[in-house]
Structure 1
Amino acid sequence: MLNPLSLMSLSRRRWFYGCLSTFVALSLVITSANPTKAISIGDIIRGGIQVIQGVQIANMSDEDEVEFGSQIDAELRQSEIRIIRDRELASYIDQIGQRLAASSDRPNIPYTFQVVRDDNINAFATAGGFVYVNAGLIKAAENEAQLASVMAHEIGHINNKHVLRSIKQAAIERGIVTAAGMDRSTAVGLGVQLALNLPRSRNYEYEADESGLNTLVNAGYAPIGMVQFFNKLLEKGGGSMPEFLSSHPNTGDRIASIQQALDPTTASQGDGLDTVAYKSKIRSLVGRY
C-alpha cells in the first residue's frame, strides 16, 4: 500500500506526463500540416473545419454549414456558373423556394435560391441552404408544381446534408484527411466539385425524393407535379436527361416509388397546376434568357 507522499509523487508524475503528451500531440499536428498553410493552436482549440472538425465535417453546426456553403457559393459564382441578375425573376424563384424551405425538415437555416444562365434542364444544391435552378429547367416545367418539385428535391439534399457527407467520403477516399483534418480551401474545392457533380448514390436520391415530396405536400403544392415532371423528362431520354435524374438508382424505379407514396385521390390536390398562368408568367421572366 502506497503512503500519502508516494501518492502525491505519482500524481505529479502523471500530470507532468499528461501535459507532455498533449504538447507533443499538438506539435505533431502543427508540424505535419501543409507547409504552405500554418495551423495555429487557436485553430485546433476552436475545432474549425480546417482542423479536427474536418474529419467530422458532416456534423458541423448549422451556423458553420451556412458559412461553409457561402464560401462554396462564392467560388461557384466566380469561376463555374453565371447567375441571372434579374430582380423580378429572382424574386419569383425565391418566393417558391422560401415557401418550400419553410415547410422542409430544416426550416431554421437561411436559404438562398439563384437562377443560373444555362439552358440545360438541371438544378443542384450545396451545403447550408444554397439552391441553384437553371433557366432551362424553369422553361421546361409545365407548371409551378413541377418546378417546385425539383426545387423541393434539391432542398431534400440539403436537409439530409448530402454534400457534406459526400465531401467527407471523398476526402477519406483521396487520403486528404489526417489527424489535423482538412484545410478550408481544400474542403471548399471539394464542395464545388460535388455541387456540380454530386455522386448519385441510391440512398441519397431516394432520401432527397422522399424528403422533397414531403416538403412539396407540406408547402401546399399538388404532389402530382413531381411525377409529371419526372415522367416528362424520362420520356426525353438520351443525352437530354438532366443530372438530377441521371443517377445510380433507375429513374423509373424512383418514379414508381414516388407514385406509391402518393394517395391517388389527393395527388392532384394543391397549388401550382395552372399551366396557362405559369407559362404566361415565365414567358416575360425567362423568355429573354
Structure 2
Amino acid sequence: MQQIQSLSLNNLPSIWVEALSLQLIAEENVLAWLEIDLDTQLHFATGLVVVTNKRLLAKMASNEIWQEWYYQKDLLLAQRDYAGVGCLELFDAHARIAYWRYRLGNDIAVSRLIACFTQQLDYYLTGKLPVVAEHTQVQCPNCAAFLSSEQEECPVCDKQSHAPPSTWTLLRLWRFAKPYKGRLLIGFLLTLCSTAATLVPPYLTMPLMDNVLIPYQNGQPINTDLVTLYLSGLLVAAVLAWMLGWARTYMLALVSERIGADLRTTTYEHLLSLS
C-alpha cells in the first residue's frame, strides 16, 4: 500500500503550469486540481484550486497573489449548488474563509478535489496514510480518479451520468410563466369547466332511462316533451364540452408557445453576451 499518487504538472492546463510550478515548495506534489470558470460575481473568469500533499492553493487569473491554507484541525472543504451554479467552500472552526463558484459541468472534478483534500487532512491529523492499491496505475481521463486494472468504467463518472436531475429545477421556469399567469388561470378554469361539462351526460342519461325508456318498455306512451328536454340537454352538454375543450387547448397551447419563445429568446441573448 502507498500514499495517494500525485499528478504530473503536465496534466494541468498550459496557462497554469509555469505559475503553479513556481509556487510548489520542496517535496510538494499536486494531488488534484479544479479549474474555476466563474468569479464570485458569477461572471466568466479563470481560476485554479489545487490540493497538494501539504496545503490547499488557489488563485484567480485576475489576482497576482496565490492564496494558501496549510492543513490544520477543523478545516473543511465542502460543495453545494443552487440554480445551476456550484459553490466550493472552505471553512475553519469559526466561519467560511474562502469560496469559489463554478458551473455544474465541473462537478466530477470538484468531488475528486474534495476527496483528495479530505484524505490529506486526515493524514495530517492522524498520521494514517491514505492508501490505494500498488497496481493502481490507470487514471480516468474525465475526473482523474485512479482505477484498478479490473475496472473498465469509472465508478465516479458512471454515478454522475446516471444521477437523475432534480425536479426542483422546473421551478426555475416560473419566471417565464409569470407574465402569463392570467392566461394560465383561464386555462385552469376552462379545464375545470370542460371536465364538468363532460360529467353532465351521465346525469341526463339516467333519468332518460328511468323516466322514458323503461316506462316505454312497460307499455306506457312516450312523453315527447320530456324526451325533448333530455335530448336537448345532452346536445347542449356535448356542444358546450367541445367548445370548452377547444378553448382550453387553444389557451394552453398559446401560453406554451409563448413560454417556449421566451426561453429561446433568453438563451440566444445569453449566448450573445458571452465572450
Q: TM-score range by the shorter chain?
A: under 0.3
More strand by share: 2
When Rg is computed on C-alpha atoms for both structures, the one with the higher figure is 2
With the length of structure 2 as denominator, give the TM-score of the two structures.
0.23
Q: TM-score, normalised by structure 1?
A: 0.22
Q: Which has the higher contact order (CA 8 A, sep 6+)?
A: 1
Which structure has greater helix proportion?
Answer: 1
